[in-house]
Amino acid sequence: MTWKKSLSMLGSGLNILLFLVMVCMIFIVISSRASGGEPSVFGYQLKTVLSGSMEPTFKTGSIIAITPLEEAEKQSLAKGDIITYLKDDETLVTHRIVEASETGNSMTYQTKGDNNEAPDGEPVLAQNVVGEYADFTIPYAGYVMQYANSKAGSIALMIIPGLLLLIYAGYSIWQGIKEFERNIVKKKSTNNESL
């Protein structure tokens, strides 16, 4: 295989990669804006880990997938399950259940971060549980998600891959023109030699 073919294949691969990155970034930005926060993919909600309370299970800055739960499912969680719950009106927390208790006809859960020494201060009411950890983590991708949720990030993550594609397309066109000119010069010299 010649170096030109290798370079051409590398260029094609880069072009496809940049296109896929652009599509993914557009999806993340649009999905984040539509949901008012983190996006949903195939029924899973994606959440960004903002603290180290659950290390080493997942690192700060990771993205985790959670499965949204119905009311009946919220009542049947058990010790060892990792849940995401509303701590207050705006704060979501993802911690492990260390104890489940029935109070009346509802459940409460005592939670604790894997990296914390003591359990959380107050038990979690079942109705405050948002979802259960779906055993899917993308380390450090949460930093990109947080940036994508910012105004500057939304613009940059949609424009930069597009600009890179345009630059690569311009380079490909320039290479094509050079190759075309070389072929014309070769053809002229071959025609002159045959006369």
pLDDT at 195 over 60: no
Of 125, 114, 44, 104, nearest to 80 (Cα)? Answer: 114
CA distance 115 to 55: 6
Instruction: Please tell me the predicted confidence (pLDDT) of residue 99.
Output: 94
The whole model's pTM is what? 0.61
Active-site residue, selected from the candidate residues 51, 76, 106, 150: 51
Q: What is the mean pLDDT of the chain?
A: 81
> Which pair of tokens denotes residue 148?
């994508």
Share of the chain above pLDDT 90, in %: 25
Active site residue 106: no
pLDDT tens for residues 12-53? 777 777 677 667 666 666 665 565 555 667 778 888 888 889
Please give the residue that has the higher pLDDT: either 140 or 92: 92
- Tell me the pLDDT tens digit for each residue of 133-182: 998 888 877 777 677 667 777 677 677 777 877 887 888 888 888 888 88
Domain at 38-149: CATH code: 2.10.109.10
26, 18 contact by CB (below 8 A): no
Q: Which pLDDT band holds residue 114 (cuts at 50, 70, 90)? A: very high
Query: How high is the pLDDT of residue 105?
Result: 83
